[in-house]
Chain A
Amino acid sequence: MVVRAVLGAGAVAAALGAVGAGISRRQPALAAVASIVAFVWGVVAGLFLLRALPSLPPTTGLDRFLVILLPVALAIEAEAAANWISGFWLTAERGCVALLAVPVLLHGSVWLEGQTPAVVILAAALFLWASWEGITGDVRSSGDRVVALVTVGGLVVAGLSIAMAGWLKGGLVALPLAGALAGALLAEWGGGPAWRRSGSGEVGGTPSGLPGLTAAGLVALFGLVVVGRCFGRLGSAAALLILLAPLLAVLPLGIGRLLPDSAGQRLLGSARYRIFLALVPLVIVVIVAKADFDTRLGRLVGEVPPPGPVAAEVSPGVDPFKLSRTPGSASRRARS
């Protein structure tokens, strides 16, 4: 079911993205909006296949993430892609969403009953706003795809870590998100409109779905990590390392721009180098999550006997208290 949900999300997002790009080939702004819409439908399809659609009205942090935070962020990015409002208002909108993100996600929970200092909420808001605004702006001008790819990886790692820490549904929800983002990125890259394929291949100020998809990935990653940390058992260090990954994919670019020689710039700007750098914290998080799973929940799950009926077998010369499984249970155990 999980594989089907991930592939379904990716396929729907890729197909809709390609169709949208094809229909609007002479209108780049429309194509950009289409890629965001493709992501949305990919997520919906994936969650449907996973049987994890959020409840309405939203009652949990995960519901509020999927029903409120992510759609609002995507609406803002659709506005940005379509050039409907000015940059100042976009920045203001992103700032408002960043400021309200944590209170919305934690609404009604014990975290907002005096347990969470306002400074933590403000710091989280500042982090989201700065990374959202800064990275999206950079992607808009450079057409860089590395951060979007890293957020796909970040979503997968966040999902695995949350699931292995004991919140299966919270972790699994991340996988269709990653699938839909990967599908939409694929369509945006490969099935993009003719104006981009014939050009330099970069965005360079022309409207594109890439900044919006990158922003969607960043906000999704942030929301998922916050609910995973606050409602699941995702540790603070793991949460920070996951959120750090996209920044590590961008940081070398910024440092490279400060360097005078072109060799250093080339090295730091290299996609392979940046992906490797971003993968380091993600791999660490997965290894630690797996070790934690093995020592805690793995034992709990591993001790589950196969659901075969058990019958007492009493015969001469045999321990009368020995339990034997009915025929077929051993093969079932072997299969499981």
Chain B
Amino acid sequence: MPRFPALLAIVFALAAGSLHAADDYDYDLVHSSVGFKARFLDISWIQGRFNDVSGKFSLDRKDPSKSTFSLTIKADSVDTANAARDEHLRQPDYFDTKQFPTIEFRSTAVKAIPDGYEVAGTFTMHGVTKPVTLTLVGGKEIEAMGKKRVGFGTELKLKRSDFNFDKGQIGNIGDEAIIVIDCAAQRD
């Protein structure tokens, strides 16, 4: 008899735990894009994108601080609509994709803001890891095409020189680059 309340407590605890469980989403490559742009001769923008991206988002809507975001970009998949330039960008003067095959973001702290989430984390590119804070706009879940979907958008400004890119190649293409992330994620 004295075992019953304890058992009940465990059941309630498990139920409460399941209610607070985070929703795990996979990055939806088809409906997402990770683009970038940098100044060309300081007269215009040169734009490109990464075609091979993966990621996982774990959203805890009750306790957003328990949410996590991770994104992995294959640097080799750089695409600026010019094959010769893409080959050039893959070489060590730029991304050095054989040495540093991935560009990664890993969240370390998440807090809810009115339009989405403010996510602090680490951004690793070209073998250098720096702390960054992203403002993810979005996060509303909808159900469409048989899956539950959520989307976010954000921009990240960074300097290539901070990530140990070859300083000799900073000139015609500006030091500052803007990474534009528009991503959708889905779960069953």
Nearest chain A CB to B128 CB, angstrom units = 9
Nearest chain B CB to A58 CB, angstrom units = 11
Knowing A168-B93, A304-B172 touch, does A61 contact B99 (C-beta < 8 A)? yes
Knowing A109-B99, A111-B98 touch, does A233 contact B91 (C-beta < 8 A)? yes
Selected contact of B168 from candidates A51, A230, A232, CB within 8 Å: A51
Given the complex of chains A and B, what is the CA–CA distance between A310 and B42 in angstroms? 12
B interface, over-half SS: loop
Give the total of B residues in contact with A, Cβ under 8 Å: 23
**Closest B residue by C-beta to A232:** B91
Selected contact of A59 from candidates B91, B164, B169, CB within 8 Å: B164
Q: Residues of B contacting A59 with CB < 8 Å?
A: 99, 127, 164
A-B contact count (CB 8 A): 69
Selected contact of B84 from candidates A111, A170, A296, A307, CB within 8 Å: A296
Q: Residues of A contacting B98 with CB < 8 Å?
A: 109-111, 230-231
Nearest chain B CB to A297 CB, angstrom units = 6
Nearest chain B CB to A94 CB, angstrom units = 27
Given the complex of chains A and B, what is the CA–CA distance between A61 and B91 in angstroms? 12
Size bin of chain A's contact surface: 20 to 34
Nearest chain B CB to A5 CB, angstrom units = 12
Question: Quick check: is B55 within 8 A (CB to CB) of the other chain?
Answer: no
Q: Residues of A contacting B93 with CB < 8 Å?
A: 166-170
Question: Quick check: is B88 within 8 A (CB to CB) of the other chain?
Answer: yes
Question: Quick check: is A134 within 8 A (CB to CB) of the other chain?
Answer: no
**Closest B residue by C-beta to A172:** B168
Q: Residues of B contacting A78 with CB < 8 Å?
A: none
Selected contact of A231 from candidates B96, B167, B168, CB within 8 Å: B96
* A51 adjacent to B84 (CB under 8 Å): no
* A307 adjacent to B42 (CB under 8 Å): yes
**Closest A residue by C-beta to B169:** A168
Q: Which residues of B contact A (CB under 8 A)?
A: 41-43, 82, 84-85, 87-88, 91-93, 96-99, 101, 127, 164, 166-169, 172
